[in-house]
Amino acid sequence: MDEQGLLESFRQCFGAEPTYLVRSPGRVNLLGEHVDYNDGPVLPAAIDRAIWMAAQATGGSEVELFSLDFNERVTIRLDAVSQKVAVDGKALPGWALYPAGVAWALQQAGFRVGGIRAVYTSNLPIGAGLSSSAAVEVGFGMLWNEAYRLGIERLRLAELCQRAENEYVGLACGLMDQFASACGVEGHALFFDTRSRQWQALPLPPGTVIVIADSGVRRSLTSSAYNERRQSCEQAVELLRQYLPGIRALRDVSPTEFAAYSEFLPPLVRRRAEHVVKEIQRVFSATNALRREDSRAFGALMYAGHASLRDLYEVSLPELDTLVEIARSLPGCLGARLTGAGFGGCTVNLVEMEQAEAFIQGLKQAYQQRTQRQAQVYLCRASAGASVKVIAGNLPG
């Protein structure tokens, strides 16, 4: 849907003129998978697929939402947001928990949030691992921040949106998704240290584009599978602490130290920890590759990361492996790997710009031949973070 269509949908829904147009991007993670809960650094990029919202601040006490993608409307009272029910007493639908959670998190942090009306839609595939939920959260956080002049800087806003997802929606996630959506820089990857919260934007290699391939397999990372991997990492830290007493997380274990002491870990725990320790090192190596514009080295690290996720962390699937194998065989592909938690979703590919269209067609055709599945393949560019544009009307005081 284009901008005019979104504005017209708002007028039809609420019989009023919208005041704000909000864009909040999804993200793709280029390197650094399953390291955020080990205090490691990550390397995401915001992408030019996003949540789009037309909105109005009412100054009242209700949040009126219409999701064009679900064709559902709901109204929430701000003084009852903690109850997770709409004004009619029914439980909030899943899609409405994200904006409601942001209102809750802002209130918990002591900010005054007023009423809004919003119509929104997305061209992010839901459940594909491109962080549509974080994009919704950050979009609504940016809207309240702008409309009610809350003065929250972007990283702090991302933290509040993460709290909404963790404590209100009830989904465990690190800060990377909300951070990338809030702080994206056009044409750049974002080196983000999840421990220190320091970050730096690094230009992507010249003459390259990001291609995202959706396997068509929806992620089925169950809480038990996710928790098992987290527990393995925690167990590794406990056991390695006997030999490395100063460590707080796997972030603190160097590859050399791991090589020296990994024999004291049970085989499964060793594999999980080896992925994390080496993946963290790959992120540092990748940032150096970006600084020297070495796209070949960066791509090789992507391939190595996928092999580690497949063989050591065991979160890949045959469909994802097939996409990476095909990509590797096609001209112009510099690197490929699964992105996101795994068990379905997407791969991310770094591709030479001049070969991108042929790469996309070749990947689609070969994937269908080998799996009898259709892959949705998107050419993306690294985008700026979420933004709010004032389009009409009076701002609340």
Order of strands across the sheet that contains 376-380: 333-339, 346-352, 208-214, 376-380
| 177 in active site | yes
Catalytic site residue from 48, 177, 214, 252? 177
Return the C-alpha torsion angle 36, 99, 94, 80, nearest 10. Answer: 120
For the residues of 274-334, what is the DSSP string, one character each? HHHHHHHHHHHHHHHHHHTT-HHHHHHHHHHHHHHHHHTS----HHHHHHHHHHHHSTTEE
What is the 8-class DSSP label of residue 90? P
Which one, of 242, 137, 140, 149, lies nearest residue 180 by Cα? 137
Helix (H) or strand (E) holding 213: strand 208-214
How crowded is the C-beta side of 347, counted as CA atoms within 13 Å? Answer: 35
* 248 contacts 39 by C-beta, under 8 angstroms: yes
Which one, of 347, 352, 346, 324, lies nearest residue 209 by Cα? 352
Question: Could you identify the residue written with the tokens 């005081």?
Answer: 397
**From CA 22, how far away is CA 121, in angstroms rounded?**
11
What is the total residue count of the chain? 397
**Per-residue buried b or exposed e for 318-336, using 16+ beta carbons within 10 Å of the residue's own CB:** ebbbbbbebbeebebbbbb
> Which are the catalytic amino acids?
177
